[in-house]
């Protein structure tokens, strides 16, 4: 597992200039946005960097070689989740540092309390986890090129679902969730964290199944 | 009799347009087995099915007497698989690749890797995208040799390389075979390489193993009878393994050159090359 993570980190480092460029772009774009926005954006961007790793793996048929080494298909799948979490934490940290630096330089959306920044960070993590939960199995199954089309289809379905929910029934459901969150803040956070964890576990299970069936 | 480093029994793998059927192949310890066959004959499929990159429909594969399911990690530590290209991202350099391999293989031998890098004159810090084809293959081999593997399985390792680099690589194989419990399964189109180093030749055609026999038997017992169409009719069926009838000449592969020389003194009987044998089986007719 350590070798697989190391390989992904080295691969990410080879794209250091692009990553640095993106960080600068985020800094410029979100310097004056509401505080926490930069953290959310950095977290999500960093988490989905795993797709770059998967694209590089696909280009050099890494998995074909990796499976001739003492590496299992399960470990190959798990490594992508672990590296995503590492990236997400790295992104959060980077976003937080940039926020502090920008605030010190007189930018920023006006001194939000630490508590709300932590909540925003949690939301960023949760969104990242959901992205990862979808992206990884889809790309294992379909590859990067086909995977894009599948993801677009999923996005369209979610968009369609959003339109359906925008009706009066949807508004009532969202309002009920909102009210529950306001009354039971901690409980809502725990339920959300548990739901994200379950989704990640299910996603990992699907990825393992895909990898076990896959031929190289 | 030497123990078997690799034993493939009754291996079948079906695809929509191709099937591998009942492959029986053994690689004894201390031996180099050359796997030959035309493009699409099933060489790579055999190798991939043997190392579990493809799911087998039928058949058993044993490494050092153990099935892969019994000890996958232990077996993979002792088997080095070398493909025809380097499966690492092009931005990495040899040092980073070594660190990755060191973290994956418990039995990684840093000293051997260093020796290989020096022997093959490979740079440590140069991105592999700037490596020549030969350098990439040498790095591939350095990886395969640096975890104390006892069996090397190689799929077209010398294809696309110039004769000088190919010769260097064959020398590396020879060095590897100095240990008597080492073995190599080498798939190659370049039969002249196999004539230099293989102990056995296994020939796959259309997903079937046509033969697997000692190279010396092929080269010193087999013969190619060159004759006219009229003479062809006079050759006994038992002397005809495969034949090709062309406009002015017939070529007949025979399994016993001396017997054929005694029976048909008026005919020319040549020592065959592996290429000739393969061509007669692939392009000619067989009994």
CA distance A174 to A28: 33
Backbone angles phi, psi at B257, to 5 degrees: -65, -40
Q: A-chain residues within 8 Å CB-CB of B148?
A: none
Exposed, middle or buried by CB within 10 Å (0-12, 13-18, 19+), for A3?
Answer: buried
Residue A148 has pLDDT above 90, yes or no: no
Q: Which residue of A has its CA nearest to B101?
A: A3
Judged by CB atoms closer than 8 Å, whether chains meet at B89 and A56 is answered as yes
SS3 B268: strand
Q: B-chain residues within 8 Å CB-CB of A3?
A: 100-104
Q: What is the pLDDT of residue A62?
A: 96
Q: What is the pLDDT of residue B128?
A: 94
Q: A-chain residues within 8 Å CB-CB of B104?
A: 2-4, 69-71
pLDDT tens digits, one per residue of B143-186:
999 999 999 999 988 887 888 888 888 888 998 999 999 999 99
Greater pLDDT, A40 or B154: B154
Chain A residues with CB-CB distance to B under 8 A? 2-4, 6-7, 10-11, 14-15, 56-57, 59-62, 64-72, 213, 215-216
Judged by CB atoms closer than 8 Å, whether chains meet at A15 and B91 is answered as yes
Q: A-chain residues within 8 Å CB-CB of B86?
A: 60
Residue A111 has pLDDT above 70, yes or no: no
C-beta of residue B229 within 8 angstroms of C-beta of residue B190: no
Of chain B, the end-to-end C-alpha distance in Å amounts to: 32
pLDDT tens digits, one per residue of B188-234:
888 888 999 999 999 999 999 999 999 999 989 999 999 998 899 88
Judged by CB atoms closer than 8 Å, whether chains meet at B87 and A15 is answered as no
DSSP B246: -
Q: What is the pLDDT of residue A158?
A: 72
For an interface test with B, which of A1, A5, A7, A74 has the most B Cβ atoms less than 10 Å from its Cβ? A7
Residue range B4-215 forms a domain whose CATH class is alpha beta
pLDDT tens digits, one per residue of A63-107:
999 999 999 999 999 999 999 999 988 988 888 888 888 877 777
Kindly indicate whether the ipTM for this predicted assembly is greater than 0.85, answering yes or no: yes
CA distance B229 to B246: 9
Using CB atoms, which residue from B79, B88, B100 is nearest to A60? Answer: B88
Q: What is the pLDDT of residue A182?
A: 65
Q: Where are the domains of chain A?
A: 2-213
Name the pLDDT band for B119 (thresholds 50, 70, 90).
confident
Q: Which residue of B has its CA nearest to A65?
A: B87
Judged by CB atoms closer than 8 Å, whether chains meet at A69 and B83 is answered as no
CA distance A37 to A34: 6
Judged by CB atoms closer than 8 Å, whether chains meet at A70 and B72 is answered as yes
Are β-strands B151-155 and B183-187 bridged in parallel, bridged antiparallel, or unpaired? parallel
For an interface test with A, which of B88, B130, B155 has the most A Cβ atoms less than 10 Å from its Cβ? B88
Mean pLDDT for A167-174 is 65
């Amino acid at each position: 597992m350590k070798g697989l993570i190391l390989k992904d980190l080295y691969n990410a480092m080879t794209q250091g200039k692009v990553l640095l460029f993106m960080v600068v772009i985020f800094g410029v774009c979100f310097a004056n946005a509401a505080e926490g926005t930069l953290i959310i954006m950095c977290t999500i961007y960093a988490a989905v960097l795993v797709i770059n790793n998967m694209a590089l793996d696909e280009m050099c048929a890494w998995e074909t070689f990796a499976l001739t080494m003492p590496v299992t298909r399960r470990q190959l799948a798990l490594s992508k989740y672990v590296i995503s979490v590492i990236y997400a934490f790295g992104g959060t940290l980077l976003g937080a540092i940039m926020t502090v630096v920008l605030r010190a330089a007189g930018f920023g959306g006006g001194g939000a309390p630490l508590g709300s920044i932590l909540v925003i960070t949690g939301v960023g993590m949760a969104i990242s986890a959901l992205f990862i939960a979808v992206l990884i199995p889809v790309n294992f199954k379909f590859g990067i090129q086909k995977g894009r089309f599948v993801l677009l289809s999923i996005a369209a379905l979610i968009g369609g679902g959003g339109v359906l929910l925008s009706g009066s029934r949807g508004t009532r459901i969202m309002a009920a969730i909102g009210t529950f969150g306001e009354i039971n803040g901690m409980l809502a956070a725990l339920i959300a964290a548990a739901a994200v964890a379950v989704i990640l576990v299910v996603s990992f299970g699907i990825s393992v199944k895909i990898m076990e069936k896959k031929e190289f | 009799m030497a123990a078997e480093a690799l034993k493939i029994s009754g291996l079948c793998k079906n695809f929509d347009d191709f099937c591998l059927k009942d492959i029986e192949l053994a690689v004894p310890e201390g031996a180099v087995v050359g796997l030959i066959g035309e493009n699409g004959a099933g060489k790579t499929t055999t190798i991939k099915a043997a190392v579990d990159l493809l799911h087998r429909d039928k058949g058993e594969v044993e490494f050092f007497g153990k099935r892969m399911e019994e000890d996958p990690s232990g077996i993979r530590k002792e088997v080095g698989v070398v493909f025809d290209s380097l499966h690492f991202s092009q931005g990495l350099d040899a040092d980073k690749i070594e660190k990755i391999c060191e973290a994956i293989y418990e039995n990684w031998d840093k000293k051997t890797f260093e020796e290989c890098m020096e022997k093959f004159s490979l740079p440590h810090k140069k991105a592999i995208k700037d490596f020549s084809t030969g350098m990439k293959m040498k790095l591939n081999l350095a990886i395969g040799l640096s975890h104390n593997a006892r069996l090397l399985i190689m799929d077209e390792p010398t294809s696309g390389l110039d004769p000088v680099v190919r010769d260097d690589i064959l020398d590396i194989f020879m060095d590897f075979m100095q240990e008597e419990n080492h073995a190599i399964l080498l798939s190659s189109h370049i039969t002249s390489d196999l004539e230099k180093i293989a102990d056995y030749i296994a020939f796959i055609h259309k997903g079937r193993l046509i033969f697997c026999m000692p190279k010396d038997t092929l080269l010193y017992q087999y013969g190619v009878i060159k004759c006219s169409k009229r003479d062809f009719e006079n050759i006994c069926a038992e002397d005809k393994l495969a034949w090709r009838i062309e406009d002015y000449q017939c070529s007949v592969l025979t399994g016993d050159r001396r017997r054929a020389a005694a029976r048909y003194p008026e005919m020319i009987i040549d020592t065959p090359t592996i290429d000739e044998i393969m061509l007669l089986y692939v392009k000619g007719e067989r009994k």
